[in-house]
Amino acid sequence: MKLLINAMTKYLAGLVLVGLLLFPAAGGFDYMNAWLFIALLFVPMFLLGLVLFLKAPELLQKRLNSKEKENAQKGVVLAALLIFVGAFMLAGLDHRFGWTHVPAWLVAAASVILLVSYGLYAEVMRENAYLSRTVEVQAGQKLVDTGLYGIVRHPMYAVTILLFLSMPLVLGSWISFALLLVYPLVIVLRIKNEEQVLEKGLEGYKEYKNKVKYRLIPGIW
């Protein structure tokens, strides 16, 4: 029951926060792109959370814990939070004042990318039961090197970059998209520190780095 209450509280808090960032900036509730975005994000989120609650409650508990222990990661998390707050508010203001326009076909394509990304997000969690939201090595943690982890070392970050860059396009704002282009740079900083932690604490990680060469994008980095 405690886990259920915690999960629902954070889910509803996230829903309310997104609404507060988008609709006041947009000047009202007649922001159809925002309603589309909320549906695309929070309906799959609810379904995934329900599956985790029923099938993998320990993993759900890990995903709800967002308190970083690594000092280097606290600044990264704060930077990411500020980027998202700014991006959502800019999207609302862009809609309100009509600064930029994203064509309908691109909004539709971004919506598909968002849903596919969320599906990949769920797949990464299925493959790795140790997938915490914080940078840490857990007791008894085992190295995962198959599936998406056999393609890149950090598939969750790769998927979230794709997911988050599709969001401002669904919201119909090029200005918001421009701001979110900073997010991959934040992820690069997070990965560099995370790999140091994993090399020290996770058995076999150095060998894994030799086996899977790329961190985020095959053939690039």
**102 φ/ψ sector (left φ>0, alpha ψ -120 to 50, else beta):** beta
Question: Distance between CA 159 and CA 26 in Å, rounded?
Answer: 28
Over residues 109-158, the pLDDT tens digits come to 999 999 999 889 888 887 877 666 555 565 567 788 888 888 898 898 89
Query: Which pair of tokens denotes residue 110?
Result: 């971004």
Question: Distance between CA 29 and CA 26 in Å, rounded?
Answer: 8
Question: Distance between CA 51 and CA 47 in Å, rounded?
Answer: 6
Over residues 177-216, the pLDDT tens digits come to 999 999 998 888 888 888 888 888 778 888 888 888 889 8
Domain 2-211 sits in CATH at: 1.20.120.1630
Q: Give the mean model confidence (pLDDT) for residues 162-174.
A: 96
Asked if 194 contacts 77 with a C-beta cutoff of 8 angstroms, the reply is no
For the chain, the residue count is 221
Distances (CA, A) of 71 to 65, 107, 138, 191, 199: 16, 38, 17, 14, 17
DSSP letter for each residue of 81-135:
HHHHHHHHHHHHHHHHHT-----HHHHHHHHHHHHHHHHHHHHHHHH-TT--SSS
Asked if 137 contacts 204 with a C-beta cutoff of 8 angstroms, the reply is no
pLDDT at 175: 97
pLDDT at 63: 67
Over residues 35-89, the pLDDT tens digits come to 999 999 999 989 888 888 888 787 777 667 666 565 666 777 788 889 999 999 9
Asked if 131 contacts 143 with a C-beta cutoff of 8 angstroms, the reply is no
Torsion of CA 127, 132, 133, 137, to 10 degrees: -120
